[in-house]
Amino acid sequence: MSSFTAIDLFSGIGGVKMGLQQAGFNVTYSNDNDLYCRKTFETNFNHGLDHRDITLIPSKEIPNHDLLAAGFPCQPFSMAGNQKGFKDPRGVLFFEVARIIKAKQPKVFLLENVKNLKSHNKGETLKTILTILEKDLGYNVHYSVLNSKDFGLPQSRARIYIVGFKDNVEFEFPEKIQIKQPKISDILEKKVDEFYYLSQKYYEGLANHKARHSAKGSGFGFEILNPNGISHSLVVGNMGRERNLIKDRLSKNAYSEGMDKAKTKNALGVRKLTIRECARLQGFPDSFLFPVSRTQTYKQLGNTVSIPVIKAVAIQIRKSLDKLKSKNKSLIDNPKLGETISLRAFVDL
């Protein structure tokens, strides 16, 4: 078992937990109050999810830990949302994270959010967050925007990652994985249920919608992916999925002239990415189960994290913690090294 423990706030279906575990952390506590996420989480992990509203959980009831991880709600800062930021009730949940950090004093935290957090409100939102983490809570903070496509996944998904250490320790974000870029074709299923194919009526509606915007000089509308390319970021809602369509073999119920367009599948073989394909785009193993409806599952996958990115960042965090542990052990074993440190720097390492 790892010598470093972690907790996972706003856990969702457990993507952050999986990434931390793969990096060698022992995740001892997870929290999320979404009923459907709880069902998926508890189907796949061997312990329960604290499903209470985080605003109602006393800090003393959260176990002590070395690493606090939190993908606090991103919708208030997302380009796809209304961007209300801290004016959105979900936006202020960051302050609950800060409350727990202040009370539990973890050695390090890892926060994840949408790329737009960096520019939201002309940069003032991120400035406020950093001020709280650095000035009010006393952490040494690093942040970077990382893209899932650089970590072995055929998905362009840029997210901001914020890491803070209680002690002044060397830390570097992971470099891009130098491997051949995976392709959409790598994650496609061979046998796809008819459900995923668009009806002829729906497909024509999308095509007409895109044509209207194109005539106005806009590129807005559906998109059929190149199997040799990568997908757009998975998001919540139909329009996000309609930008991640794929052309496959024709459905057995494909449209031909004279047939009912609403009751037949499109004549081009265009379909949505399946749930399993979307899960693969986020780095989930095929053994991961989704016991909820397709609608809820798509929502969960749009809201979750890319596991390989979390793993890569967490590995870097472990390296820093290992160096700090080694340094403090040397100072304990060799008190005449000439460097004075406080007890806080090494207690419980």
pTM of the model: 0.88
Report the pLDDT value the prediction gives residue 340, as an integer from 0 to 100.
Answer: 46
* Spans of the chain below 70 pLDDT: 1-2, 74-91, 120, 238-240, 329-349
Report the pLDDT value the prediction gives residue 327, as an integer from 0 to 100.
Answer: 78
Report the pLDDT value the prediction gives residue 335, as an integer from 0 to 100.
Answer: 60
Helix (H, G, I), strand (E, B) or coil at 68: strand
Report the pLDDT value the prediction gives residue 92, as an integer from 0 to 100.
Answer: 75
Round to whole Å and give the CA distance between 195 and 325: 53
DSSP at 220:
-
Strand stretches in the chain, DSSP E? 5-9, 26-31, 67-70, 108-114, 140-147, 158-165, 245-247, 270-272
Report the pLDDT value the prediction gives residue 241, as an integer from 0 to 100.
Answer: 77
- 9, 18, 49, 74: which is the annotated catalytic residue? 74
Report the pLDDT value the prediction gives residue 342, as an integer from 0 to 100.
Answer: 44
Report the pLDDT value the prediction gives residue 344, as an integer from 0 to 100.
Answer: 43
Report the pLDDT value the prediction gives residue 89, as an integer from 0 to 100.
Answer: 45
Report the share of the chain in percent with pLDDT over 90: 72
Beta partners for 162? 111, 143
Domains by residue range for the chain, with CATH: 5-176+306-345 (3.40.50.150), 190-273 (no CATH)
Report the pLDDT value the prediction gives residue 5, as an integer from 0 to 100.
Answer: 97
Give yes or no for a contact between 245 and 271, defined as CB atoms under 8 angstroms apart: yes
Write the pLDDT tens digit of every residue in 239-271.
567 999 999 999 999 999 999 999 999 999 999
- What percent helix, strand, coil does the chain show, rounded to 5? 40, 15, 45
Report the pLDDT value the prediction gives residue 88, as an integer from 0 to 100.
Answer: 43
The residue behind tokens 């959260």 is: 62
Query: And the tokens for 80?
Result: 């796809």
**Listed residue (274, 266, 264, 273) closest to 207, CA to CA:** 266
- Residue 278 known to be catalytic: no
Report the pLDDT value the prediction gives residue 15, as an integer from 0 to 100.
Answer: 97
**Listed residue (191, 163, 210, 199) closest to 271, CA to CA:** 199
Q: What phi, psi does 202 have (nearest 5°)?
A: -65, -40
Angle at 316 between CA 49 and CA 21, to 5 degrees: 30
Angle at 171 between CA 180 and CA 142, to 5 degrees: 95
DSSP at 251:
P
Report the pLDDT value the prediction gives residue 93, as an integer from 0 to 100.
Answer: 85
Report the pLDDT value the prediction gives residue 181, as an integer from 0 to 100.
Answer: 85
